[in-house]
Amino acid sequence: MIYNPQDEYDKKYKSLHYENTVKFFNELAEKSGVNQEENERTVLEHDELVKKAKKIRKKIFWLKFLRVLMIITIVLIPLVIIKTTPKIKRLKAQASEFTNNAEKLIELAKKQVAPLNSLFSDKDCINLIESTIEGIKFEPYFSAKQEENMAQNFDFEQDASEHSTLDTLAGHYNQNPFVFETKRIHVMGQETYHGYKTISWTDTYRDSNGRLRTRRRTQTLHATVVKPKPFYREQLVLSYCAQGGPELSFSRDATNLDDKSEKQLDRYVKKGEKRLKKKTDKALQKNVEFVSMSNTDFEVMFDALDRDNEVQFRTLFTPLAQTNMVDLITSKTGYGDDFNFIKKRRTNKIITEHSQKRAVVMNASSYLSHSFEEIKNNFIDKNAEFFKSVYFDFAPIWAIPIYQEEPVHSLDPIPDLAKVYAQKECEAIANLISPENVVHPQTKTPAILKASPLGSSQSIDQVKITAYSYDINEQVDFISVLGGDGRWHSVPVPWQEFIPLTANSQFFVANEELAKDKNIMAKRKNVCIYN
């Protein structure tokens, strides 16, 4: 078990993962047979040529500048041309030669490290996490059986039609199932549109001498309309299933308390104590179940005041769990208080700010280079960053010791299913299909794809993919606005009308072996979708 996730990352797992990463890289390097010294010489030679070419081009720039400057003095034109032009030509030829030779060296360097580059895999990053964290196991894909287990035994629910899964990474920690999921979220909101119209008129006035005069005046009128508009965003979520607190639900939002000084934190907690007392008094008056815990640092900072089962909340948040959570929230070496925690009975969702720009699995192409040393640094640094990000996605879960216990054997067993792939896995691969093959032909917005099973046979799933999107009609409203001339004017405000569209398609999902010779539309993690 991980007893204190923040402390153990600092003192154990950070260095252990680094050691495992270096060891793994060295094994790959040895297996590749790449001559590191030879590649270093090639790269150094290339870099030297690039520097020389850059230096010469700088000289060419100043010579050209000098030539222009001297040409301004007409008398010196012949002298300038005679003196500078041949020199510029020679330097250009020399720079071109250096550049050509540098390009040849780049190609040579790429060939030298090609055997190493070919050994990297998208699985490397998760294999290294498995070798570092005992008890964690990632699956090749999100299976229908795991999804059914999470739904049946851990209250895991499918998303509403406004969410579509773009990527998944499923696994288990001490037999507790989890899934990382990147999803596209659709929200219907409102957009304010602006319109303008310029008017002019003539009015009369008296000048300083009392004479009656006329003048031409103009004014730009402004009008707005508010109309419905769909908005889309992406979000990475960790859903972790555990039996602790089976009837308890609560939520808390990130507050970035790690940015505060010790004095600011003390003031924040004291202010929160008053709020807790009011909530406790109100609960007593209304006979509602809420009693503030004695550890007010935890109670105020964690701020899960919407909890609906006090007994189970206290069972989860033992003194150790409370201390762990405060350590995470105030940490200066981790990511601090950047996590939302939503518990709905036995499913816990963690949404961290630091993970939102991260891919579910790191692409092996991010390591590649023509330089052995650069490849090594990329591999070590990027895996360290990925490990830290994933570790602190789990950290709020690991802060609660009961969540690390294996599920009891009283769970309902999940029978073998004909269906192979989880609904979310099917959505993720469907989202890789070129949009014109799944969305309505009139679509002008992103689409929300939803998968539903049609049947399964011989390890092949048949699915229906429904694409929800919008067409856009350009519209104009005319809004009456009072002008400076005392009249009402119709100001045109162009706006967009979003017309809902739906399209249905049928596809098959299977592994590469079963999908070969088929019309494959997309592929991910050895899983293909075809029609």
Q: How far is CA 408 from the centre of its chain?
A: 34
- Measured N-to-C along each axis, helices 77-117 and 14-32 cross at an angle, to the nearest 10 degrees, of 100
CA angle 43–45–50, rounded 5-degree value: 90
Alpha carbon distance 331, 323 (integer Å): 12
- For the chain, the structural domain boundaries read 33-117, 423-530
429 membership: H or E segment, kind and range: helix 423-430
Alpha carbon distance 145, 28 (integer Å): 34
Alpha carbon distance 364, 525 (integer Å): 13
CB atoms within 10 A of CB 52: 17
Instruction: Give the predicted TM-score (pTM) of the model.
Output: 0.88
Q: What is the structure's pLDDT at 315? A: 96
In tens, the pLDDT along 376-407 reads 999 999 999 999 999 999 999 999 999 999 98
Half-sphere exposure in the Cβ direction for 292 (13 Å, CA): 22
- The strands making up 339-344's β-sheet, listed across from edge to edge, are 136-138, 163-173, 176-206, 212-241, 347-352, 339-344, 249-252
Mean pLDDT, residues 182-192 taken together: 97
Q: Read out DSSP for 132-186?
A: HSTTEEE-SS-BHHHHHHHHHHH---PPPTTEEEEEEEEEEETTEEEEEEEEEEE
Alpha carbon distance 420, 431 (integer Å): 18
Q: What is the structure's pLDDT at 398? A: 98
* Amino acid in the structure at residue 227: K
Alpha carbon distance 531, 529 (integer Å): 7
Q: What is the structure's pLDDT at 103? A: 85
Alpha carbon distance 28, 391 (integer Å): 24
213 strand-pairing partners:
205
Alpha carbon distance 269, 257 (integer Å): 11
Whether 54 contacts 165, CB under 8 Å: no
Alpha carbon distances (Å) from 246 to 153, 318, 339, 343, 368: 10, 16, 22, 10, 46
* Amino acid in the structure at residue 506: Q
Q: How far is CA 335 from the centre of its chain?
A: 16
Whether 185 contacts 236, CB under 8 Å: no
- Least confident segment among 12-21, 122-131, 207-216: 207-216
- CA proximity to 173, closest of 133, 135, 126, 129: 135
CB atoms within 10 A of CB 381: 12
- CA proximity to 111, closest of 156, 164, 46, 56: 46
Q: What percent of the chain shows pLDDT beyond 90?
A: 74
In the predicted structure, residue 362 carries a pLDDT above the cut 80 = yes
In the predicted structure, residue 74 carries a pLDDT above the cut 60 = no
| Contacting residues for 475 by C-beta, under 8 A, at least 6 apart | 494, 495, 496, 497
In tens, the pLDDT along 123-170 reads 999 999 999 999 999 999 999 999 999 999 999 998 888 999 999 999
Q: Supply the DSSP symbol for 444.
A: -
Alpha carbon distance 326, 395 (integer Å): 12
